[in-house]
Amino acid sequence: MSKVNVVLGGFYGDEGKGKIIDYLSGDADMSIRYSGGNNAGHTITVDGVKYAFHLIPSGILNKQTKAVIGNGVVIDPKVLLEEIDNLHAHGVSTDNLYISSKAHIILPYHVELDKMLEENRGENKIGTTARGIGPAYCDKYERSGIRVEDFIGPNFAKLAKTNIENKNVIFEAFGHSKLDAESIIEEYSAYAKRLEPYVTDTINLVHKALDTGEKIICEGAQATLLDIDFGTYPFVTSSSPTIGGVCTGSGIGPKDIGEVYGVIKAYSSRVGKGPYLTEEDNEVGDTIRELGHEYGTTTKRPRRCGWLDLVALKYAARLNSMTGIAINHVDTIGKLDKIKLCVGYNHKGNVSMDFSTNPDYIKDCTPVYEEFEGNFGDISNITNRDDLPEKAKKYLNRIEEVVGVPIKFIGTGAGRENMIIC
């Protein structure tokens, strides 16, 4: 029986997960998004055309791959429809799209709450994407969320009205204008009609696919250090992008999981607030940002940039049982003269590989760096790892050596073809 392969973020997101998924879906029967919502932005460049996915698994670009939005995802129906329309405009069919009846819906009150609560955090802002993700997951766990099956069912108006009335009490208390239930219900009922044909019990669909030996891949959104449990709380997202989220967000059991590919960049980046030990908040970071075009796919915010942190990566590898690393933007880092790699944390004089998300611990750490030669030259057309320049090999070998996980994919450019398969 074939095993389910998982692609997930190794660091703070935007590592190029979409690109790896796109490659792996080439011969996959099913590609599943298991967590997060339209806070995600996965960019794929095919034949010079750039596609930005927020909710639909990138596997949709391959005709034979069923694209499943799993039960662990929170869905903004308006955004999903925009994404569907955009794919149609590019001639991409969505006949193979399946939306879980158990996924939860993001409604305008979630978005308004997200913005309002963030505003009220003052100095302590998280830097959310303001897409309503946190409030939607709150409602799910508080058990007042609206699932897709409720959304397309006869009780939607009643459920939405109750929720809007309750949220309006909060809005009023904060001096925020109240939301109009009738207009929201009317607008979103129309979206429900359009989405209904795509809705199914994806848990059954996935189980049947497993039973018949279909080739399945799971597309992580966000990343390990943004995980609600394992990330740098509270500067995290509200879901489980790590390996456990695959099981709870799709209905796949742990024994069905095969390869776990952790995607990283040859440097690092972070959007939003929170600790980031290897950040280069200076000219080096600015240079990396410009060379790597590090501006958010979803919010267009400039990404904070810095060096690759192997202490954090080792933690992510352990947490997710990573079997392979996919490292993107090796072309980008190779444009610098000198590259630094964090191979330890110095905590009050003690150097170790001990990672912790405790802000007080991180505050007292300084990164221990090794320096490598850059200037790799043009590597975009190299298809064999052995053909990489020695300087690039040395950098990649050291990453494998410290983390203890083999590199399986090397990104040498943004295009689908710019990749070395090891």
Residues that bind ligand GDP (CB under 6 A): 9, 13-19, 41-43, 45, 297, 328-329, 331-332, 411-414, 418
42 is catalytic: yes
Minimal distance in Å, beta carbon 94 to ligand GDP?
20
Tally of CB atoms within 10 A around 143: 6
205 or 288: CB nearest ligand IMO: 288
Residue, CB closest to ligand IMO: 272
Tally of CB atoms within 10 A around 208: 10
Contacted entry of ligand GDP, ligand IMO, Mg ion, none for residue 71, CB cut-off 5 to 8 Å set by kind: none
Tally of CB atoms within 10 A around 299: 16
14 is catalytic: yes
Minimal distance in Å, beta carbon 114 to Mg ion?
18
139 burial class (0-12, 13-18, 19+ CB within 10 angstroms)?
A: buried
Measured CA to CA, the distance from residue 221 to residue 233 in angstroms comes to 17
Encoded tokens for 82: 């925009």
304 or 329: CB nearest ligand GDP: 329
Contacted entry of ligand GDP, ligand IMO, Mg ion, none for residue 306, CB cut-off 5 to 8 Å set by kind: none
Encoded tokens for 267: 């440097």
Edge-first strand listing for the sheet containing 4-9: 199-200, 97-100, 66-69, 30-33, 216-219, 4-9, 257-265, 324-328, 407-411, 419-421
Torsion angles phi and psi, residue 295, rounded to 5: -125, 135
Tally of CB atoms within 10 A around 298: 19
- Regarding 219 and contact with Mg ion (CB under 5 A), the answer is no
Minimal distance in Å, beta carbon 1 to ligand IMO?
29
CA angle, residues 91, 93, 99, in degrees to nearest 5: 140
121, 214, 270, 306, 376 from 395: Cα distances, Å: 41, 37, 22, 16, 11
Minimal distance in Å, beta carbon 1 to Mg ion?
32
Contact in structure between 163 and 107 (CB atoms under 8 Å)? yes
Contacted entry of ligand IMO, ligand GDP, Mg ion, none for residue 328, CB cut-off 5 to 8 Å set by kind: ligand GDP
Residues 277-336 that bind Mg ion (CB under 5 A): 297
173 burial class (0-12, 13-18, 19+ CB within 10 angstroms)?
A: exposed
Residues that bind ligand IMO (CB under 6 A): 9, 13-14, 39-42, 126-129, 131, 133-134, 221-223, 226, 237-238, 271-272, 297
Binding mask 38-77 for Mg ion (x = CB under 5 A): ---x------------------------------------
Q: Which of 22, 29, 42, 104 is catalytic?
A: 42
Minimal distance in Å, beta carbon 38 to ligand IMO?
9
Minimal distance in Å, beta carbon 15 to Mg ion?
8
Contacted entry of ligand IMO, ligand GDP, Mg ion, none for residue 332, CB cut-off 5 to 8 Å set by kind: ligand GDP
Q: Which of 14, 114, 150, 309 is catalytic?
A: 14
Task: Kindly calculate the radius of gyration of the chain based on its CA atoms and give it in whole angstroms.
Answer: 21
Binding site for Mg ion (CB under 5 A): 14, 41, 297
Query: Catalytic positions, please?
Result: 14, 42
